């Protein structure tokens, strides 16, 4: 209880969770400051009349600053559909990186090694770009990242163990799905009233390089791999399932 020569002020309620904030009460021209109370959860009795506690100018400034920061953060977030695109592209490029890592682990010292290394280097650049974009645009990565990491390596190494042509068949199957996926995204982005041209440029460039990988696989005899049709159909299906999951999870 606090008293002065003119006013009697009693604090009859304080919250259980006390914060180090300041709130103040204008009382007949005087300013009484209460420390350690939450503005909306405490009351005062002044001259027998119940008056609300108002935020001090310092607290109000801090609250306005916090709200502005939250608005700035929100404004940097990508729209939902763009979020899905970035999330799935990040996951896809991570998977492609790991596929070529698996192929290199098996075929790196063979005559196919330099070609696989070239394609792997491009996939590393793709992955690094989407790592940057996903951070800049504040997009949550898919929770499946650890699984795609392992699955990609196993797929790459497993097909490589069947021989260079099977490895190229894997490349053809994966790149077929990715090129179609990127083309779908480009059509959607182009149809927007205000297209995200920066993202479109990245996707367009990567789409062309993925198409190059696809064509290289065919040139290297992918269609001569054992059970080519079955192998590529299974891989394509797996890629499409991974895309669908990565969009939302």
User: Which residues are known binding-site members for Fe cation?
Assistant: 93, 123, 126, 175, 210, 213
Is the dihedral angle over the CA atoms 100, 104, 108, 111 positive or is it negative?
negative
As a whole number of angstroms, the distance between CA 35 and CA 183 comes to 60
Closest CA to 115 of 229, 236, 218: 218
Torsion (CA) 159, 160, 161, 166 in degrees, nearest 10: 60
Q: Bridge-partner residues for 25, per DSSP?
A: 32
Q: Is 102 within 8 Å of 116 (Cβ atoms)?
A: no
DSSP H helices in the chain: 57-76, 80-107, 113-136, 145-161, 164-190, 197-219, 228-248
Is the dihedral angle over the CA atoms 110, 166, 125, 91 positive or is it negative?
negative
As a whole number of angstroms, the distance between CA 239 and CA 69 comes to 39
As a whole number of angstroms, the distance between CA 125 and CA 181 comes to 19
As a whole number of angstroms, the distance between CA 82 and CA 50 comes to 52
**Where is the binding site, in residues?**
93, 123, 126, 175, 210, 213
DSSP 36: S
């Amino acid at each position: 209880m606090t008293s002065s020569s003119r006013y009697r002020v009693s604090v009859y309620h304080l919250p259980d969770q006390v914060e180090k904030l300041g709130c103040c009460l204008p009382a007949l021209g005087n300013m009484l400051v209460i420390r350690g109370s939450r503005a909306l959860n405490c009351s005062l009795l002044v001259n027998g009349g119940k008056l609300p506690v108002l935020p001090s100018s310092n607290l109000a400034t801090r609250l306005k600053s916090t709200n502005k920061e939250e608005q700035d953060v929100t404004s940097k977030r990508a729209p939902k559909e763009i979020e899905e695109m970035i999330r799935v592209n990040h996951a896809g490029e991570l998977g492609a990186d790991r596929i070529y890592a698996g192929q290199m682990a098996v075929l790196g010292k063979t005559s196919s090694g330099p070609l696989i290394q070239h394609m792997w280097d491009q996939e590393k650049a793709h992955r690094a770009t989407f790592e940057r974009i996903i951070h800049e645009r504040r997009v949550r990565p898919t929770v499946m990242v650890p699984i795609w990491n392992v699955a990609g390596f196993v797929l790459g190494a497993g097909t490589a163990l069947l021989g260079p042509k099977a490895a190229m068949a894997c490349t053809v199957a994966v790149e077929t799905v990715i090129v179609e996926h990127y083309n779908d995204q480009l059509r959607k982005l182009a149809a927007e009233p205000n297209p995200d041209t920066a993202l479109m440029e990245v996707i367009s460039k990567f789409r062309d390089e993925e198409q190059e990988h696809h064509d290289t696989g065919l040139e290297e005899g992918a269609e001569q791999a054992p059970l080519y049709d079955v192998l590529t159909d299974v891989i394509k299906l797996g890629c499409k399932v991974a895309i669908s999951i990565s969009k939302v999870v």
